[in-house]
Homo-oligomer: A and B are copies of this chain.
Amino acid sequence: MLATLFVLLHAHVCLALSMSQQPPRIDSTERVASTKWLALDTYSWTDQDGVARKWDVATRTTTNESGVDAVVIIPILKSEYSLDTLLVEQYRPPVRQATLEFPAGLIDKGETAVQAALRELKEETGYVGQVSGTESRPVCMTPGLATEQVQIVTVHVDLTLPENQNPQAELDDGEHCVVHRVSLKDGLKKVLDNPSKAMPIMGLYLFSIGLDMGLSMSS
């Protein structure tokens, strides 16, 4: 009898708990300040328990309706003798130093992610590429801090093409990129771990850990 009562009570409590849970929602947003490129907002939101909360958020002023700001490119340069990728080294004022990143850039108005990827790869590295798959679904960069979303595109560079024999970057005014061609199997992790080299971006660093893990898992 007591056991039955306990089970019923327990079930009731669990049911009540699960019924009180609700999808979290944004109730309103307040623009605290805005500059040319960035805005600082405070969101008022209601969490799963119905509790009213605040969250401070950074937003690019350039973000379009899709919510996707930029494209990140994984360049694959395959030949009979090598399997390489391309990294871009550039000075980034927010971290006050040069960084190592995959080629990337904002998506222009009216462009698809794939079109932006091929354009940015040509501009930043000089290489002409081809996309065999599709872009990734939108992914977030730092979702505890910013609205920023990107799509990832893997681009294959045919090294036998005449236009890829002497690639020349076409940088915008004020852009200063150094392009590094790095072996995926043997060079990437070493470059990223070298403290005398520029600071890697997290996504690139995690890519290299995943790559090494994949290589070691099947060997």
Contacts of A195 in B (CB 8 A): 137
Taking the closest CB of chain B, its distance from the CB of A29, in whole angstroms, is: 10
Interchain CB contact under 8 A, B205 and A152? yes
Which residues of chain A in 170-190 are interfacial with respect to chain B, using CB atoms and an 8 Å cutoff?
174, 176, 184-185
Copies of the protein in its oligomer: 2
Contacts of A207 in B (CB 8 A): 206-207, 209-210
Contacts of A142 in B (CB 8 A): 141-142, 146, 148, 201
Cα distance A83–B216 in the bound complex, in angstroms:
13
Q: Which of these, B72, B94, B215, contacts A146 with CB under 8 Å?
A: B94
Cα distance A152–B203 in the bound complex, in angstroms:
11
Count of chain A residues near B, Cβ 8 A? 79
Contacts of A204 in B (CB 8 A): 206
Instruction: List the one stretch of A4-12, A44-52, A121-129, A157-165 in contact with chain B.
Output: A44-52
Interchain CB contact under 8 A, A143 and B94? yes
Interchain CB contact under 8 A, A92 and B140? yes
Contacts of A55 in B (CB 8 A): 37, 93-94
Interchain CB contact under 8 A, A40 and B42? no
A26 at the interface (CB under 8 A from B): yes
A57 at the interface (CB under 8 A from B): yes
Q: Which of these, B24, B35, B154, contacts A91 with CB under 8 Å?
A: B24
Contacts of A201 in B (CB 8 A): 139-143
16 contacts between A and B (CB under 8 A): A32-B33, A32-B35, A36-B56, A43-B94, A47-B174, A94-B145, A136-B205, A137-B193, A137-B199, A139-B200, A141-B145, A141-B201, A145-B146, A146-B146, A207-B210, A210-B214
Q: Which residues of A contact B (CB under 8 A)?
A: 24, 26, 32-33, 35-40, 42-43, 45, 47-49, 51, 53-58, 60, 72, 74, 83, 91-96, 99, 101, 136-150, 152, 154, 174, 176, 184-185, 193, 195, 199-219
The 5 closest A-B CB pairs, nearest first, are: A214-B214, A210-B210, A33-B33, A58-B58, A210-B211
